Structure 1
Amino acid sequence: MTPAARRSILLRGVNVLLDVGANRGQYAQWIRTLGYSERIVSFEPTSEAFGWLAKAAAGDPMWQCHNLALGADDSDLDLRVSRDSCSTSAFAPTGITLRNYPDAATIARERVAMRRLGSLWNDLHCTAPIYLKVDAEGSELAVLEGAGAVLDQIAFLELELSLVPTYVGAPLIGEILRFVEDRGFATVALEGIQGDDHSTGQMLMLNGIFRNIT
């Protein structure tokens, strides 16, 4: 099954898609092409990418955008802005990342506002079922930790998972799998994404999709 076909099935009946790490809105725009017409709430912390995101969402009344990072606490966050904005992260890229994706190199720093999903929850007015997608370049676990009890209301999780250290100090797939399983989520699919070591053949990253079975 293709990723598009899988999401077309999983998003049936979903009322809200939370798009964490939205960048310029690529994921949300893709989901719209699959026929999803319900509410999308996107979060993007960096100023340049958020400007593009806001433009992408401007003509869509069912798509709201927040210029925020989500994480484990309510504070500010120092981000390492990369040449390729999709690789901007709170963590430094490792050698394996830079060897295969030179545009992941840090070219600037930006201090951004960060909130816990649990802190924002009442203001978001989300109606279940809810699909939470997190592509936060190493901060996926921090976003889940900041959700707290809100995770009990999430029907599906979609997370970027690193098989090897792609960012210095960022959690790997095993730690995140243990966390989501402990919170009552079962694996729906593990999808390969563009992210391989071109010299060794090592797969670097996966997309994991998980269903709440509690």
Structure 2
Amino acid sequence: MTHPTLLHRARVLAQRFGIDITRHPSDRTGDHLVRLLDRFEIDTVLDAGAHTGGYGTLLRGSGFTGRIVSFEPLTAARAQLHRAAEEDPYWTVLPYALGDTSGTIELNVAGNAGASSSALPMLPRHRAAAPGSAYTGRQKAEVRRLDELWEEITAPGERVFLKLDVQGYEGHVLRGAGDYLDEVVGLQTETSFVPLYEGGPLFDEALGHAQRELGMSVMSMVPGFTDPDSGQMLQCDLVLFKQSDAREAALV
């Protein structure tokens, strides 16, 4: 019988607390993503649910030189996000949650340093796979519609990519973009294969909406949260771009 490696044992233990350990997982993912951003000539990335800035750091480390606008409503995570972005003049941090209304929202703060925090209730399947991600408190935050902010954070003619890491709240963010959603060239959205947050869309629904309503095609899938006991992948990120985009058509 083959015995588990030290890395494997550490990874299983860490996953119980909502943390995934791999051998340099982001390098290849970041390089692949930035090639797609370059291919579709993306100028600005809107990073919703930026947490501590891991996504922006990934983009910069992989060569993306365009603007990044990161949204993070949780105070502790946003402090780290500010530190990640402070030396970068093309990386802006805003203290908002994005949704389909503007006002105040109460967020559930997750125990895994806030990474699994959501406006939605967490379901037992999520807590069973990652007990350390269970909610430990609540925090009020300002929520804004993206269409109210659009002209402040983008410039005319910019090609925009929207990244969503909002734990089941993706539909609310997309509805809040209003008519400006037509100007989004590409989308990266976290989606679940099993119910993890109450009311959150599942994979088939998210994919169908992006294809039928937004006219986007899948260009990449990024593996995500996996149950450490069963090995079942519970979440992944879909990376999509508009298949009717004129600049993309010229590349085919």
TM over 0.5: yes
Partner Cα distance (1:175, 1:56) in 2: 34
Q: So what's the TM-score if we normalise by structure 1? A: 0.94
* 1:67 equivalent in alignment to 2:67: no
How far 1:198 moved relative to its partner? Answer: 2.8
Pick the aligned partner of 1:173 from 200, 203, 227. 203
| 2:181 matched residue in structure 1 | 151
Asked if the contact 2:107/2:140 (under 8 Å) is kept, the reply is yes
* 1:9 equivalent in alignment to 2:35: yes
How far 1:156 moved relative to its partner? Answer: 0.8
How far 1:53 moved relative to its partner? Answer: 0.8
How far 1:199 moved relative to its partner? Answer: 3.1
* 1:142 equivalent in alignment to 2:172: yes
Pick the aligned partner of 1:202 from 206, 222, 232. 232
* 1:122 equivalent in alignment to 2:148: no
Partner Cα distance (2:53, 2:229) in 1: 31
How far 1:169 moved relative to its partner? Answer: 2.2
Partner Cα distance (1:72, 1:174) in 2: 22
The number of aligned residues is 213
Pick the aligned partner of 2:219 from 178, 188, 191. 188
Asked if the contact 1:93/1:104 (under 8 Å) is kept, the reply is no
SS in structure 1 of the partner of residue 58 of structure 2: helix
Partner Cα distance (1:26, 1:2) in 2: 15
Pick the aligned partner of 1:27 from 48, 52, 55. 55
Partner Cα distance (1:171, 1:78) in 2: 20
1:161-198 superposed Cα distances (whole Å, 9 cap, x missing partner): 111011122121222222212121111122212x1223
1:70-127 superposed Cα distances (whole Å, 9 cap, x missing partner): 0111121110001111111111221121112112111110111101111111111334
Name the aligned partner's letter for residue 161 of structure 2.
Y
Provide the aligned C-alpha RMSD in A. 1.5
How far 1:2 moved relative to its partner? Answer: 3.8
Asked if the contact 1:96/1:197 (under 8 Å) is kept, the reply is no
Name the aligned partner's letter for residue 44 of structure 2.
V
Name stretches of at least 5 consecutive residues in structure 2 with no aligned partner.
1-26, 245-252
Give the 4+ runs in structure 1 shifted more than 4 A.
none
SS in structure 1 of the partner of residue 195 of structure 2: coil
How far 1:5 moved relative to its partner? Answer: 2.9
Asked if the contact 1:128/1:154 (under 8 Å) is kept, the reply is no
Asked if the contact 2:44/2:154 (under 8 Å) is kept, the reply is no
Q: So what's the TM-score if we normalise by structure 2? A: 0.80
Asked if the contact 1:87/1:137 (under 8 Å) is kept, the reply is yes
Partner Cα distance (2:221, 2:90) in 1: 29
SS in structure 2 of the partner of residue 198 of structure 1: coil
| 1:18 matched residue in structure 2 | 46
Q: Larger deviation: 126-135 or 22-31?
A: 126-135
1:44-63 → structure 2 map (5 Å cutoff): 44-63=72-91
